[in-house]
């Protein structure tokens, strides 16, 4: 871990060229977003000159990084927001985040976030701080409209370990999504680069110069006009599952950004059932290694009742609700 102070860093002679923000994040254990903030404040220099986050550095480059003392956390606890804890030990919490809840404060969301709720269960020192003052304990994120499992680190060491596991793709994250249409293959893998959509800058898209992105999927259950998928998030790009599924013609039900027409509305409600009022995407399972004990940790969060109700409507509505295994018998 990298404590507050001034730190001299030097790129090894056998290293390749790379962006300076990525290099500093790798060697210090600080999150890349935190490193980028330090760079924007002029705290990373080479030969006395401040660098930009996208500066490319090579072997032998000498760097000086200033890590200031932590800022005082100015976030109000929100005890009125429930925190559903699925797993807990001395290193971490795994919580079940509801749809509609933002993970951490940002522009436009200064309060009412999961972080505010967590602070009602302990002070700022209860959680790891290497992701920055606005993100105590946060290791990864879920979109506001996505529900499900999220890891929260209780110490800097645990936060560093979990971030390293994510970067090395040793955390297995499995999602459930109801998608528009009947997916033909029982098992598939989507490999398509994701970046900012050049036509709609508020959206992501599959673009030639995007970052390499991989999503695996398996058919879990089939319905007339809809398919329930299990999805393995191999990489973790912004809106990755939503973008990849839209790209293959099967957008996620209830997606207001990447869906259109029927897919955006979701399955037709019948028999007085409530229509789908949110994105049908749920972070269902997590598998990781304990930061200190080394044992395997598995956690699962059942589908929220509003999503289970949609599936029940499809079943009762006379759809062919065959699981992928049953459909092959």
pTM of the model: 0.78
Report the pLDDT value the prediction gives residue 155, as an integer from 0 to 100.
87
Torsion of CA 199, 202, 206, 212, to 10 degrees: 140
Could you tell me if 251 and 260 are in contact, meaning their C-beta atoms sit under 8 angstroms apart?
Answer: yes
The CATH homologous superfamily for domain 85-167 is: Pseudouridine synthase (3.30.2350.10)
Report the pLDDT value the prediction gives residue 329, as an integer from 0 to 100.
33
CA angle 182, 185, 188 (to 5 degrees): 120
143 is catalytic: yes
Q: What is the SS3 assignment for 21?
A: helix
Give 198's strand partners.
none
The CATH homologous superfamily for domain 172-327 is: Pseudouridine synthase (3.30.2350.10)
CA angle 234, 85, 266 (to 5 degrees): 55
Catalytic entry in 143, 145, 156, 255:
143
The CATH number, out of the four listed (3.10.290.10, 3.40.50.2300, 3.40.50.2000, 1.10.3720.10), of the domain defined by the range 5-67 = 3.10.290.10
Nearest 5°: phi and psi at 248? -95, 10
Give 214's strand partners.
191
Show me where the domains of the chain are located.
Answer: 5-67, 85-167, 172-327
Q: Tell me whether domains 5-67 and 172-327 share a fold.
A: no
Q: Per residue of the chain (329 residues), what is the pLDDT tens digit?
A: 577 889 999 999 998 999 999 999 888 878 787 899 899 999 999 999 999 999 999 999 999 999 887 665 567 788 889 999 999 999 999 999 999 998 887 756 667 888 888 888 765 556 766 666 567 788 888 999 999 999 999 888 898 899 889 988 999 999 999 999 999 999 999 999 999 999 888 899 999 999 999 999 999 999 999 999 999 999 999 999 999 999 999 999 999 999 999 999 999 877 767 889 999 999 999 999 999 999 999 999 999 999 999 999 998 875 433 333 334 33
């Amino acid at each position: 871990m990298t404590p507050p102070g001034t730190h001299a860093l030097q790129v090894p002679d056998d290293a390749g060229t790379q962006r300076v923000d990525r290099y500093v994040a790798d060697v210090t254990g600080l999150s890349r977003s935190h490193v980028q903030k330090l760079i924007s404040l002029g705290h990373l220099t080479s030969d006395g000159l401040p660098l930009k986050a996208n500066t490319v550095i090579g072997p032998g480059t000498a760097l000086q990084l200033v890590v200031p003392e932590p800022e005082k956390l100015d976030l109000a606890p929100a005890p009125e927001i429930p925190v559903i804890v699925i797993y807990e030990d001395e290193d971490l919490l795994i919580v079940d985040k509801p749809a509609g809840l933002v993970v951490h404060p940002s522009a436009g969301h200064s309060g009412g976030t999961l972080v505010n709720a967590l602070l009602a269960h302990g002070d700022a020192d209860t959680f790891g701080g290497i992701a920055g003052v606005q993100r105590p304990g946060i290791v990864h994120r879920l979109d506001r409209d996505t529900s499900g499992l999220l890891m929260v680190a209780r110490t800097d060491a645990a936060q560093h370990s979990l971030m390293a596991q994510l970067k090395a793709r040793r955390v297995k994250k499995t999602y459930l999504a109801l998608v528009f249409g009947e997916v033909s293959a029982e098992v598939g893998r989507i490999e398509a680069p994701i970046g900012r959509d050049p036509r709609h800058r508020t959206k992501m898209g599959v673009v030639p110069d995007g970052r390499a992105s991989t999503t695996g999927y398996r058919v879990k259950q089939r319905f007339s006009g809809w398919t329930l998928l299990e999805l393995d998030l191999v990489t973790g790009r912004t809106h990755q599952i939503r973008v990849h599924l839209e790209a293959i013609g099967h957008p996620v039900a209830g997606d207001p950004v990447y869906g259109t027409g029927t897919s955006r509305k979701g399955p037709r409600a019948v028999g007085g059932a409530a229509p789908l009022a949110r994105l049908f995407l749920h972070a269902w399972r997590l598998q990781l290694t304990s930061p200190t004990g080394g044992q395997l940790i598995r956690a699962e969060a059942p589908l929220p009742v509003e999503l289970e109700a949609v599936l029940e409507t499809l079943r009762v509505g006379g759809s062919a609700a065959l699981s992928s295994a049953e459909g092959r018998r």
